Amino acid sequence: MQAPALDPFVSLEDYLAFEEISPVKHEYWNGYVVEASGGTPRHADLIANVAATFVLRLRGKPCRGSSSEQRIRVEKSNVLFYPDFVVKCPPEKYSLLDPNALLNPALVVEVISPTSEKKDRVTKFEQYSLIPELRDYILVSQDRILVEHFARGQGDEWILRRYNAREDLISLPHLEIEVPLEEIYEGMDLPSGLLALHGKAETEIS
């Protein structure tokens, strides 16, 4: 069944009804609906690697991973996204208006490309950071070995750590796990992300 066209500005209720029958996923930006862009084979492979790596390390722990089918709602700004990968921890909270939308992800991963980088790095991060329970936001580059980890500090401060070597480990103390870049980039012949730097660079941002 083909989903009907939407008006330029739609209610959340109309969006949810539209999304139920649409063959493709859409983001909701407080009244505006945007089709979620499709990915390349490398993008899909990276998402699969990320999921496999996290799921293995979370086994036996209270938190668990979820795929890009898991919708996220940011209540403060009334937006809904489909992140590439999510970690959710108990007690999980879901929207009363949209029972399929998670309200309190603990970690979000987005695999970025040259066309999606600005949106994932700036626009979406601004939205995700409004979720008080979110502790970690991770960007994975698909054209080089580069993972950027934004960890929530005190108040509205976020600490950025960059990893650009296959032997690097992403430390996630809140989940009590370490994630190796070697597994995220398994099977991919890509250059180092920060050729001028060695190991990890750490910067505090607010």
**pLDDT tens-digit readout, 165-179:** 999 999 999 999 999
pLDDT of 116: 81
CA distance 109 to 136: 8
Phi, psi of 46, rounded to the nearest 5 degrees: -65, -40
pLDDT at 103 over 50: yes
Amino acid at 51: A
The CATH homologous superfamily for domain 39-205 is tt1808, chain A (3.90.1570.10)
Amino acid at 117: E
CA distance 12 to 100: 13
pLDDT at 156 over 50: yes
**pLDDT tens-digit readout, 13-42:** 999 999 999 988 999 999 999 888 767 899
Token pair 């001028």 is found at 196
Q: CA dihedral defined by 54, 60, 98, 77, rounded to 10 degrees?
A: -50
Concatenating the DSSP letter of every residue in 53-95 gives HHHHHHTTSS-EEE-TTSEEEETTTTEEE--SEEEE-SSP-B-
- What mean pLDDT is predicted for residues 120-126? 92
Q: Where are the domains of the chain?
A: 1-36, 39-205
pLDDT at 2 over 60: no
**pLDDT tens-digit readout, 39-92:** 789 999 999 999 999 999 999 999 999 999 999 999 999 999 999 999 999 999
* Higher per-residue confidence, 141 vs 203: 141
What one-character DSSP code corresponds to residue 48? H
Identify the bridge partners of residue 88 per DSSP, sorted by sequence position. 64, 105
pLDDT at 130 over 60: yes
CA distance 5 to 125: 29
Concatenating the DSSP letter of every residue in 93-110 gives -B-SS-TTEES-EEEEEE
CA distance 13 to 21: 13
**pLDDT tens-digit readout, 183-198:** 999 999 998 876 534 4
- The encoded tokens of residue 58 equal 């979370």
Of 54, 68, 66, give the one whose Cα is nearest residue 175: 54
pLDDT of 139: 97
% of the chain residues with pLDDT over 70: 89
